[in-house]
Amino acid sequence: MKSIFLILILTHTLGLQAQITLTRADFPKPTSNSTLPDSVLYTNVTSGTPISHTLNGINQIWSETMLSGNPTYQQYLPMSSTPLIFQLLFLSCDYAQPLLNGGNVGGNTLTDAFEYYDYASSDSRLQVKGFGGNILIPGQTTSIPLPALYSSPDIIYRFPMVYGNMDSSNSGFNVTLPLGGIVGDFTLKRTQTRVNEVDGWGRITIPSGGTYDVLRQVSKINRIDSFITGFFPVGFPSQPIEFKWLTQGMKYPVLQINGTQTGNGITITNITFLGGWPLQNNQIDLKQTSLIFPNPTATSCVLEYSLTESSNVDIYVYSSCGIRCGEFHFLHQQTGTHQDILPIENLSAGTYFIQCKTSNNTFVQKLIKL
């Protein structure tokens, strides 16, 4: 009897910590008829030293609770929401997203930059078809559009994603920009090889309060950006490396650490983690000016608020890790007190944040769904 009991406990424990599988359904895919961009909250780390990138393997436990920084939103956009000059080049793509931190080419930062994503071969992989942004060429005073369509896609993930997956891809672009004058034509060129490996699985805890079952993927990239003019070619080799901890349904990595390979070491350049609610100074706690009742609730709730002037009212429901999971829009609301019913019975039990935006204010309130 004791042996059977121990076997049952062991089986239950292993079941709780079994590795997950990721598919296309766990990643973004907004459509052209979306009323608003699909988005997810993440925090750009400004304080704290991570250690998770040094740990891989099976049934791993990662913890990065000491990291902190500035929360913001990443948006996933349909093609129609990006600049027309780039839409025409990337018509076949499934979605675009603004490049975090602008992105760069040969050390030159891009502005208003978007990366274009495509689910290829019956959703067997997620790949980048290229990017578009404005770049300031050295010696010039005005930024010019850079439409960079890769000759072959840069493959980010292959599905189904499981521990032990390995793959590689070669990509690059070659764009000539006619600058005129003494400089003449200016060619920007990139060649790169990406090697992806799902080298770990386990559980991670992050500062926004979540603990997630994850797969870890490390991507090593060998890249050369070249600037070529009639006078001289200049090459900028680099070796970016990306560590991503990915879980089911969250779209954005639970934790991502970007860096540069330097000899046998790694120089970290950027860290982000999922969630982190941005309560800015101009955001007022909704408790002071309105009421949500009943709270907690299992079905629906009523949001009561007062307006001092007529306004459209937009209400958004976010999970505790920043995933937008509902929205309501009330147009041309007049001055006075209003009561709007929010049907939330389809939400899973847990903690949510209700964000209410008027023409001159943003309020935030916590809601408990039973």
- CATH number reported for the structural domain that contains residue 292 in this entry: 2.60.40.2550
Q: Which residue has the tokens 């404005």?
A: 134
* 102 pLDDT higher than 80: no
- Rounded distance, CA 170 to CA 128, Å? 12
Of residues 16 and 102, which shows the higher confidence score?
102
Residue 359 domain-assigned (yes or no): yes
Residue 19 domain-assigned (yes or no): no
Q: Is 277 within 8 Å of 71 (Cβ atoms)?
A: yes
Task: Please give the single-letter amino acid code of residue 64.
Answer: E
How high is the pLDDT of residue 31? 66
Q: What's the mean pLDDT in 10-33?
A: 70
Residue 1 domain-assigned (yes or no): no
Q: What's the mean pLDDT in 199-223?
A: 93
Residue 10 domain-assigned (yes or no): no
How high is the pLDDT of residue 32? 62
Total-model pTM: 0.73
Query: Where does the pLDDT of residue 259 fall: very low under 50, low under 70, confident under 90, or very high at 90 and above?
Result: very high
Region label for 350, one of left (φ > 0), alpha (ψ between -120 and 50) or beta (otherwise): left
Q: Tell me phi and psi for residue 12, to 5 degrees.
A: -65, -40
Task: Please give the single-letter amino acid code of residue 113.
Answer: A
Average pLDDT of the chain to the nearest whole number: 82
Residue 195 domain-assigned (yes or no): yes
Q: What share of the chain is helix, strand, coil (3-state, %, to 5)?
A: 10, 60, 30
- Rounded distance, CA 325 to CA 354, Å? 10
Q: Among 102, 92, 153, 149, which residue's Cα sits nearest to residue 128? A: 153
Same domain for 336 and 221?
A: no
Q: What's the mean pLDDT in 103-125?
A: 83
Of residues 343 and 128, which shows the higher confidence score?
128
- Least confident stretch, 26-35, 125-134, 218-227, 252-261: 26-35
How high is the pLDDT of residue 145? 86
Q: Among 202, 198, 196, which residue's Cα sits nearest to residue 169? A: 196
Domain range enclosing 194: 29-274
How high is the pLDDT of residue 309? 81
Question: Which DSSP helix (H) or strand (E) runs through 341?
Answer: strand 336-343
Instruction: Report which listed range, 229-243, 258-272, 318-332, is most confident.
Output: 258-272
Share of residues in the chain with pLDDT > 90 (%): 37
* 315 pLDDT higher than 70: yes
Residue 135 domain-assigned (yes or no): yes
Q: What's the mean pLDDT in 282-297?
A: 60
Q: Using one digit for the tens of pLDDT, what is the confidence trace for 69-83?
A: 988 778 888 888 888
Same domain for 241 and 157?
A: yes
* 299 pLDDT higher than 90: no
- Least confident stretch, 100-114, 224-238, 341-355: 100-114
Q: Tell me phi and psi for residue 153, to 5 degrees.
A: -65, 150
Q: How many structural domains comprise the chain?
A: 2
Q: Using one digit for the tens of pLDDT, what is the confidence trace for 30-71?
A: 766 554 567 787 889 999 999 999 999 999 999 999 999 988
Q: What's the mean pLDDT in 249-272?
A: 92
Task: Please give the single-letter amino acid code of residue 105.
Answer: V
| Residue 33, C-beta contacts closer than 8 angstroms, at least 6 positions apart | none
How high is the pLDDT of residue 217? 98
- Rounded distance, CA 1 to CA 4, Å? 5
Same domain for 121 and 161?
A: yes
* 108 pLDDT higher than 80: no
